[in-house]
Amino acid sequence: MNAGPSPIRYLLGLVLALVVAIAGGSNPVHAQAADRESVLTALKQTATERSFDIRMEFVGTPHAKLILLRNPNRIAIDLFDTVSALDALDPQPNDFVSDMRQGLVAADRYRIIFTLARPGLPQADIATTEEGSVLTLKIVASDIGAFLAADPSRTIGAAPEPAVPSSAATVPDRSYTVVVDPGHGGVDNGAVGKQGTLEKEVNLAFAKALRDALGKNDHIEVRLTREDDRFVSLSDRSDIAREAKADIFISMHADSIRYPDIRGATVYTLSERASDQLSREIAESENSADRFVDPEWEKGEPEVFDILIELMRRETDSFSQHFAAGLVQELGRHKIRLIRNPQRAAGFKVLTAPDVPSVLVELGYLSNVDDEELLLDESWREDTANAIADAVVGFLSAGASGDKAATAPIPTTGG
Ligand SMILES: [Zn+2]
């Protein structure tokens, strides 16, 4: 998605590779095709009681990635610089895979998706042959817990040759962008504490503390969606993250709820269905921030939900969940108080950028008097900001935000 070859030029290249592959007949086509382009020429399926096996044959050897997408649960294989010579894919009768699809998800990336009929874990490998290469995918039965806990993304086979023409690959010392979003602002105060604390002020002070904590790492650039007390609409906030091509978007909040005893931090990700009633209420209350938006602004916003955005969305969701899990862990490690079941999900509008892993953190609840005190405490703020910064560094170092982060691990700054 960074500056790469233009899609048209890329497609032309692939068509050419395909023509070469077909015209080549029995010749060792792979020697003639440009070395970074592969063609998927066959896909064979074998269903057994214990597994569903796929064998894909290629001219050339693709750089391939395995991705787990949740809810609905799917297994995807991304093939970089690869074109498919196959017609529509249909699964033969089996217990594991109910649907198969293929399509381009980015200029340089072809994806095949297997929708799971029951939880299953993939084993994948790639081997070179005389003709090119063979990628095998074996889906074996598992329980849902194992599927949800599995690594959401990994490279198939040995570490790839730097054949991917991604601009990131040529920039060893890449930097990362984190967009921090202090919730509310301007006409929208957010929640108000028992002592009169305004949520919008707590959020802004915290966002600045987090910027300082993240700023200790030279590889991380931080942008705030607002630097002062002003109103920013929810869609503008996520647009800022998209335009910055952010690796992570973190929205900071400290809301008020109708249970004065509930306190502690919560990490939310986006979900069409709320994980619980409290999450649903919080999302409704956060989304109502846009009641301050002039309705004219929101009119005619296009509902561009084609399949490619939908696919990107699912992948981003799984990175967001991965980050949220790491964040909850870091907060715990830093002894920051958490609510029960601190990782939750609901339909937060501000988290809807389809291509930026996004979380919303309720730092605490202004409806609780002890939390209100903590939220104003500078040393608590610093500790919590450090915990979040550690989680960000861990996430980016693991290359978990996708291809963009897959190059150099970023050095930790410690502390
Ligand atoms: Zn809020």
| Interval between CA 175 and ligand 1 midpoint (Å) | 29
| Interval between CA 391 and ligand 1 midpoint (Å) | 21
Helix (H) or strand (E) holding 105: strand 97-106
Among 2.60.40.3500, 2.60.40.10, 3.40.190.10, 3.30.365.10, what is the CATH number of 7-169?
A: 2.60.40.3500
| Interval between CA 61 and ligand 1 midpoint (Å) | 49
> For the residues 18-44, what does the mean pLDDT come to?
55
| Interval between CA 197 and ligand 1 midpoint (Å) | 13
Higher pLDDT, 201 or 156: 201
| Interval between CA 180 and ligand 1 midpoint (Å) | 14
- Name the token pair of 144: 């849902």
Strands across the sheet containing 74-80: 97-106, 109-116, 74-80, 63-69, 153-155
Query: pLDDT tens digits for 48-94?
Result: 888 999 999 998 888 899 988 877 888 999 888 888 888 778 888 89
| Interval between CA 347 and ligand 1 midpoint (Å) | 14
| Interval between CA 106 and ligand 1 midpoint (Å) | 34
Average pLDDT, the chain: 81
Mark residue 245 as left, alpha or beta (left: phi above 0; alpha: psi -120 to 50; beta: remaining).
left
Give the total residue count for the chain: 415
131 burial type by CB count under 10 A (0-12 exposed, 13-18 middle, 19+ buried) = middle
Band of pLDDT at residue 38, cut at 50, 70 and 90 = confident
d(CA 15, CA 69): 29
Q: What's the pLDDT score for residue 306?
A: 53
> For the residues 162-178, what does the mean pLDDT come to?
52
d(CA 79, CA 403): 12
| Interval between CA 183 and ligand 1 midpoint (Å) | 5
| Interval between CA 88 and ligand 1 midpoint (Å) | 46
Domain 172-405 classified CATH 1.10.287.1080? no
363 contacts 206 by C-beta, under 8 angstroms: yes
Q: What's the pLDDT score for residue 249?
A: 97
| Interval between CA 288 and ligand 1 midpoint (Å) | 10
Question: Which ranges of 98-175 would DSSP assign to H, the alpha helix?
Answer: 144-149
| Interval between CA 191 and ligand 1 midpoint (Å) | 7
| Interval between CA 247 and ligand 1 midpoint (Å) | 22
d(CA 351, CA 253): 13
Q: What's the pLDDT score for residue 343?
A: 95
| Residue of 129, 105, 131, 101 whose CA lies nearest to 115 | 101
Q: What's the pLDDT score for residue 309?
A: 66
Give the predicted TM-score (pTM) of the model.
0.60
Band of pLDDT at residue 378, cut at 50, 70 and 90 = very high
| Interval between CA 253 and ligand 1 midpoint (Å) | 4
Give the start-to-end residue ranges of the domains of the chain: 7-169, 172-405
Higher pLDDT, 288 or 104: 288
pLDDT of 11 strictly over 70: no
| Interval between CA 402 and ligand 1 midpoint (Å) | 28
Position 319, amino acid: F
| Interval between CA 332 and ligand 1 midpoint (Å) | 22
Residue showing tokens 């597994």 = 51
| Interval between CA 361 and ligand 1 midpoint (Å) | 9
d(CA 155, CA 72): 22
| Interval between CA 280 and ligand 1 midpoint (Å) | 13
Query: pLDDT tens digits for 101-159?
Result: 887 777 677 888 899 999 999 999 999 988 889 999 999 999 888 888 888 888 888 65
| Interval between CA 356 and ligand 1 midpoint (Å) | 20
Return the bridge partners of 128, or none. 133
| Interval between CA 362 and ligand 1 midpoint (Å) | 7
Band of pLDDT at residue 294, cut at 50, 70 and 90 = low
Mark residue 324 as left, alpha or beta (left: phi above 0; alpha: psi -120 to 50; beta: remaining).
alpha
39-43, 65-69, 215-219, 306-310: segment of lowest average pLDDT: 306-310
| Interval between CA 351 and ligand 1 midpoint (Å) | 13
| Interval between CA 286 and ligand 1 midpoint (Å) | 6
| Interval between CA 52 and ligand 1 midpoint (Å) | 46
Band of pLDDT at residue 34, cut at 50, 70 and 90 = very low
Q: What's the pLDDT score for residue 85?
A: 82
Q: What's the pLDDT score for residue 413?
A: 46
| Interval between CA 287 and ligand 1 midpoint (Å) | 9
pLDDT of 5 strictly over 80: no
Beta pairing class for 97-106 and 358-362: unpaired
| Interval between CA 334 and ligand 1 midpoint (Å) | 23
Taken in order 370, 376, 378, 381, is the CA torsion positive or negative?
positive
Return the bridge partners of 127, or none. 134
Which residues have CB atoms below 5 A from the ion given as ligand 1?
183, 190, 253, 255
- Compute CA 73 distance to the chain's CA centroid, rounded to the nearest angstrom: 15
70 contacts 317 by C-beta, under 8 angstroms: yes
| Interval between CA 219 and ligand 1 midpoint (Å) | 29
